[in-house]
């Protein structure tokens, strides 16, 4: 079973067809040969190729496949399972999980394997990212529904989702509230003040800590913070490739000066701290 889709053009229900999906008004969306649906209307695109590029997606996949982010992925799996258990006594349906801005699908596939009885959808605005998701789930023999779509206009029906996961991605409170069931949860994984401090020290002369708990001041009604946890680890990067792949996963990729990038390319080893925050938020309209 998959999440219920809505048409990105007229917002009516989308029904499955042998080669994709279609609404009652006749808007048709073909399934790509890799298996995903593109539900991002052309007129909603701000650029020809929005979101992460192929190069960034490949760097992210290579990095995540090293297992260096296993600690946050495990914390996310455990917390997701707890969130669904807390709601299970009231809702007998198959739990629906949505990974919003899922990138190349590392966390999505892991969540789908950890919580085997759930229906899981991953979407991202980047087509190369979603193509990688299809490859990842095929290789892992994991089931998931993959969509090219934006968090600003999620092509899923109202009141349909038990849990939204947002890992280093954009949050759209209005859209998240629309698709969540009452007492559904959002898990947000983001940077703590000292995340990748040593990498940043290699890039900038003046390194500032990120503001602590910026998200906490932004949570609007009727969302409520249930808990926030600190996740720390030490990353030992043992090749220039791993260091540059990690760089490509961060906003610093865009800000680094060529001279500093050259300096980074000469490094073969870097020990770096992982400092993340995992926020559990409940939707109580
Ligand atoms: C920092 S990456 C995180 C990806 C993934 N969650 C992970 O941690 O591996 C942010 C992702 O958000 C996507 N993105 C950017 N704007 C978006 C939007 N409006 N809607 C959906 N995804 C978006 C990018 O393409 C990129 O894959
Ligand atoms: Zn339609």
52 close to ligand 1 (CB < 6 Angstrom): yes
Quote the ligand 1 centre to 142 CA distance (angstroms): 21
CA 138 to chain CA centroid, nearest Å: 18
The residue count of the chain comes to 285
Number of H helices, E strands in the chain: 9, 11
Calculate mean pLDDT across residues 246-273: 91
Tens digit of each residue's pLDDT (9 = 90 or more) over 107-163: 999 999 999 899 999 999 999 999 999 999 999 999 999 999 999 999 999 999 999
For the chain, domain boundaries: 37-283
8 A C-beta contact, residue 16 and residue 30: no
The residue assigned the tokens 């999440």 is 3
Residue 3: band (very low, low, confident or very high) from pLDDT cuts 50, 70, 90: low
CATH superfamily of 37-283: Vaccinia Virus protein VP39 (3.40.50.150)
Tens digit of each residue's pLDDT (9 = 90 or more) over 172-216: 999 999 999 999 999 999 999 999 999 999 988 888 877 777 777
106 close to ligand 1 (CB < 6 Angstrom): yes
51 close to ligand 1 (CB < 6 Angstrom): yes
Residue 88: band (very low, low, confident or very high) from pLDDT cuts 50, 70, 90: low
- At 96, phi and psi to the nearest 5? -110, 120
Quote the ligand 1 centre to 25 CA distance (angstroms): 30
128 close to ligand 1 (CB < 6 Angstrom): no
Structure tokens at 219: 């949570």
Q: Does the pLDDT value for residue 46 go beyond 90? A: no
């Amino acid at each position: 079973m998959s999440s219920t889709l809505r048409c990105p053009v007229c917002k009516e229900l989308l029904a499955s067809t042998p080669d994709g999906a279609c609404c009652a008004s006749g808007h048709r969306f073909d399934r790509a040969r890799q298996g995903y649906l593109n539900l991002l209307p052309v007129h909603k695109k701000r650029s020809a190729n929005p979101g992460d590029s192929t190069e960034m997606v490949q760097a992210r996949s290579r990095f995540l496949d090293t297992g260096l982010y296993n600690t946050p992925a495990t914390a996310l799996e455990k917390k997701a399972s707890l969130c669904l258990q807390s709601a299970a006594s009231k809702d007998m349906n198959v739990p629906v999980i949505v990974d919003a801005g899922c990138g190349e699908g590392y966390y999505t596939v892991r969540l789908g394997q950890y919580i085997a009885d759930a229906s899981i959808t991953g979407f991202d605005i980047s087509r190369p990212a979603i193509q990688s998701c299809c490859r990842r789930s095929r290789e892992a023999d994991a089931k998931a529904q993959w969509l090219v779509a934006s968090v600003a206009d999620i092509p899923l029906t109202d009141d349909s989702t038990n849990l939204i996961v947002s890992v280093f991605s954009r949050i759209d409170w209005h859209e998240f509230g629309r698709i969540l069931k009452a007492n559904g949860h959002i898990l947000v994984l983001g940077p703590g003040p000292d995340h990748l401090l040593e990498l940043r020290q290699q890039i900038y002369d003046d390194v500032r800590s990120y503001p602590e708990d910026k998200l906490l001041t932004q949570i609007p009604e009727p969302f409520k913070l249930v808990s926030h946890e600190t996740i720390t680890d030490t990353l030992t990067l043992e090749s220039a490739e791993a260091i540059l792949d990690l760089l490509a996963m961060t906003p610093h990729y865009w800000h680094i000066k060529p001279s500093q990038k050259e300096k980074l390319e000469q490094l073969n080893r870097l020990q770096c701290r992982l400092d993340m925050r995992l926020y559990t938020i409940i939707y109580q309209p």
